[in-house]
Amino acid sequence: MKIPIARSCLLESEINSVLEPLRSGWLVQGPKVKEFEDKWCAFTGTQNSIAVTSCTSGLLLSLAASGFGPGDEAIVPAFTWISTANVVENLGGKVVFCDIDLQTFNIDITKIESKVTERTKAILPVHLFGLSADMGPIVELANKYNWFVVEDAACGLGAKYKGLHVGSFGNTGCFSFHPRKAITTGEGGMVTTNDDGLAEKIRRLRDHGAAMTDLQRHLGSSPYLLADHPDAGYNQRMTDLQAAIGSAQMDRADVIVSERQALAKKYDDAFAKLDWLRTPFRGNDYEHGYQSYPCFFMPEEISVSSVKEINANRNKWMDDLQKSGISTRPATHAVHMLSFYKEKYNLIPEDFPNAYAADQCSISLPLFHGLKEDEQDFVIEKVLEFKR
């Protein structure tokens, strides 16, 4: 049996949905994009949704819309996908890393305030792997210091904090539709915001800074009227082909999230007695969306001096699982250890010891909707066979 870490699972009707825009001839930023955005608002309970080319472009447009630029600092968790930090650099800003909490893999809220300088303008909390960051204290700090909050909700479909969907706490929230995410459009992203003025600005920035959309122009009565461009924007428009596939999947978004939660529960129950494997955090205030199933290997033995040995054991176990046909991955990166950031900011792994430990000692097991019962049973059987 071969079990991938993730497998996108589209229904025939979802695949066929791409034919409608192809036949209509409206291929970019048209009615299907609008339909997808409306369904996203309904699902997340947010006022505005803006479809873009990726989560990364959503993060960039959000920060750009806030006026973030050269000399400004943004606080970013040290354990995340690199693009959470890259967008800060791309706009000429400075990344200020903050360590994470090893129970949740998310930013450690007790360490945020020590990162503040007079140049801090923004914070990008990440809802890693589908678990919300602790948004209450983060929003409180943001209000206190007047920060712009961009939620990196790339993995956040179905993730809730105190009953509210992620993407509704910050100034914006940014989601990804990369194939490893619960809903995929190949590439693609969505920005959510409850601020109508900000939504308008982001809509403009995604479309070359144009004050009028293509759809408005085409439906208008004056052929000589071109849009004005109040901003030097970007081209981050989603195609209607992508939006058609995304919109079709939204009709079963609840089912997709429930299936992922049920798969996670089965793993949780099967591994509950293992002291050498810590399964993903569950807490009363949190509903996990399970974009993936990240575990911590040998959590009880973790210390700065033990990381190397635990990492060697984890890697050997990952190799053994691979030989049995089961794909696993480290959960994500300690971004401060990647060459660009390590060299630019002269960082060492121990500067953010928890991010370093998470990078070296985490393991994500296969979890995706469409994972078959015998496939999951096989993963469970092989994990339980592990001998320390």
Ligand X SMILES: Cc1ncc(COP(=O)(O)O)c(C=O)c1O
Residues binding ligand X: number (CB under 6 A)? 15
48 is a contact residue toward ligand X (CB under 6 A): no
Measured from the Cβ of residue 228, the count of other Cβ atoms closer than 10 Å reads 9
Residue ranges in 95-134 that form contacts with ligand X under rule CB under 6 A: 126, 128
**Least distance in angstroms from the C-beta of 230 to ligand X:** 26
If the CB atoms of residues 176 and 376 are measured against ligand X, the closer one turns out to be 176
The least CB distance from residue 88 to ligand X, in Å, is 13
Nearer to ligand X, 168 or 382 (CB): 168
Question: Which CB, 178 or 336, lies closer to ligand X?
Answer: 178
56 lines the binding site for ligand X (CB under 6 A): yes
Q: Using H for helix, E for strand and C for coil, what is the string for 43-74?
A: HHCCCEEEEECCHHHHHHHHHHHHCCCCCCEE
Q: Which residue among 121, 181, 201, 382 is the active-site one?
A: 181
Identify the CA nearest to 213 among candidates 233, 190, 193, 195: 233
Pick the binder of ligand X from 165, 178, 204, 278 (CB under 6 A). Answer: 178
Selected range binding ligand X among 2-10, 15-23, 52-60, 98-106, rule: CB under 6 A: 52-60
189 binds ligand X (CB under 6 A): yes
String of contacts with ligand X for each residue 138-157, x by CB under 6 A: --------------x-xx--
The least distance separating ligand X from the CB of residue 178, rounded to whole angstroms, comes to 4
Rounded-to-10 torsion of CA 318, 322, 328, 332: 60
- By CB under 6 A, residue 84 contacts ligand X: yes
Encoded one letter per residue, x for contact with ligand X by CB under 6 A and - for no contact, window 324-363 reads: ----------------------------------------
Q: Does 260 bind ligand X (CB under 6 A)?
A: no
Nearer to ligand X, 227 or 338 (CB): 338
* Residue 176 interacts with ligand X (CB under 6 A): yes or no: yes
Give the residue, chosen from 44, 80, 168, 193, that forms a contact with ligand X under the rule CB under 6 A: 80
Residue with token string 């997340």: 44
Residue 55 in the binding site for ligand X (CB under 6 A): yes
- Bridge partners of residue 96, in order along the sequence: 75
Q: Which CB sits closer to ligand X, 80 or 171?
A: 80
Q: Which helix (H) or strand (E) holds 103?
A: none
- C-beta separation of 292 from 180 below 8 A: yes
In the bound state with ligand X, the residue whose beta carbon lies nearer, of 26 and 236, is 236
End-to-end CA distance of the chain: give it in Å, rounded: 24
Q: Is 192 in the site for ligand X (CB under 6 A)?
A: no
State in angstroms the smallest separation of the CB of 4 from ligand X.
16
Q: CA 6, CA 290: separation in Å to the nearest integer?
A: 12
168 forms part of the interface with ligand X (CB under 6 A): no
Cα torsion at 303, 287, 57, 189 (round to 10°)?
140
| DSSP per-residue string spanning 303-328 | -TTTHHHHHHHHHHHHHHHHHTTB--
For residues 46 and 56, which CB has a smaller minimum distance to ligand X in the complex? Answer: 56
Burial of 321 (0-12, 13-18, 19+ CB in 10 A): buried
In the complex, the smallest distance separating the C-beta of residue 218 from ligand X, rounded to whole angstroms, is 28
**Closest by alpha carbon to 37, among 186, 159, 191, 182?**
191
CB of 309 to ligand X, least distance (A): 28
- Which of these segments, 49-57, 159-167, 251-259, 305-313, binds ligand X (CB under 6 A)? 49-57
Q: Are 53 and 262 in contact (CB under 8 A)?
A: no
CA distances, 340 to each of 89, 100, 241 (Å): 10, 20, 35
Beta strands 189-193 and 48-52 are antiparallel
What single-letter DSSP state applies at residue 114? G
Active-site residue 181, yes or no?
Answer: yes
Cβ atoms 84, 126 nearer than 8 A: yes
Q: Where does this chain bind ligand X (CB under 6 A)?
A: 54-56, 80-81, 83-84, 126, 128, 152, 154-155, 176, 178, 189
Positions annotated as catalytic residues are 181
